[in-house]
Every structure is written in structure tokens, then in C-alpha cells.
Amino acid sequence: MRGAILGLFIFALAPPAAAQSFMVGTWYGQGQPENKDAMYVDRMRADGSWRGEYRTCLGGKARDQIQEGRWALEGDILLLRVEKVNGVNAPRTDTYKVLSHSANAQKYVSQGWNFPYTPGRVADDFQMPGCLVS
């Protein structure tokens, strides 16, 4: 009985995002609703935590933003529960409809902006590209 209770307790503490999920990993993409040239890196961890790194380039200079929080996949809906933006509490939940996915590519649409995202899988140590002066 004690083992069964312990097993249920451990199961209850398990993260909502299973380690086998296709979302786990590091994803790089380009484009945001307000700036098609913006870049982003989403680091989706197996424990359900998430870090989004966003870069906009203006005159060759990077303007970066970091968002951190939790992620969950409920059917074909991806939920990004933002807890902090640049280290400051700024709670909100962004929702996306997953349209397709493979081991190396995804396509999803933001529910609020109806903007399509198409990130590709990159190495976990991937660093955001720098800004080019055009």
C-alpha cells in the first residue's frame, strides 16, 4: 500500500510535458506578428519549463527579450505560460494551434494573432545569430 501511495505521489508530481514529447528540445525560427525579420529561440525542457529568446534588429543593433515560464501540450494546442519577461513578473498564457510537426520541423499558428510559426530543431547549445547591417 505504501509503495502504491508513493507511486501515485510521484506520478502526480510528474511534469505535464512528457520527456518523449516532440516539443522537447531547442527550436529556432524567424518572424513575429509585428516584425517578420525578428528571430526567436524556444528552449522547451522535458520538465515543462520553457525559455524564449527573441531578437529584433534595428540598424544592425540587437534588441533582445527573454521570456520564461512553463509549457504544456494539450492535444494540438501548445500553451506557453509566461511567468517572467526580462526577469520581471509578467504572467500571461499564449496559445498556439499545432498544424504539423516532425523530428526537425514544426508549424503552428498563434491563436491571438493568427500568425504562422515554422521553427526548426537546432542543437541545445545554439546561440541566436547576430544582426547584419543592411
Q: Answer whether residue 29 is part of any domain.
A: yes
Over residues 1-59, the pLDDT tens digits come to 444 443 433 334 444 444 458 899 999 999 888 888 899 999 999 999 999 999 999 88
Q: Answer whether residue 97 is part of any domain.
A: yes
Q: Answer whether residue 86 is part of any domain.
A: yes
Does residue 79 register a pLDDT over 60?
Answer: yes
Distance CA 105, CA 118 (A): 7
Look up cell 520527456; give the residue: 19
Q: Answer whether residue 131 is part of any domain.
A: no
CATH number of the domain that 66 lies in?
2.40.128.640
**Cα angle: 70, vertex 112, 20; to 5 degrees:** 35
pLDDT for position 133: 55
Query: In terms of Cα–Cα distance, which of 15, 23, 55, 21 is closest to 119?
Result: 23
**With a threshold of 0.75, does the pTM exceed it?**
yes
Q: Answer whether residue 33 is part of any domain.
A: yes
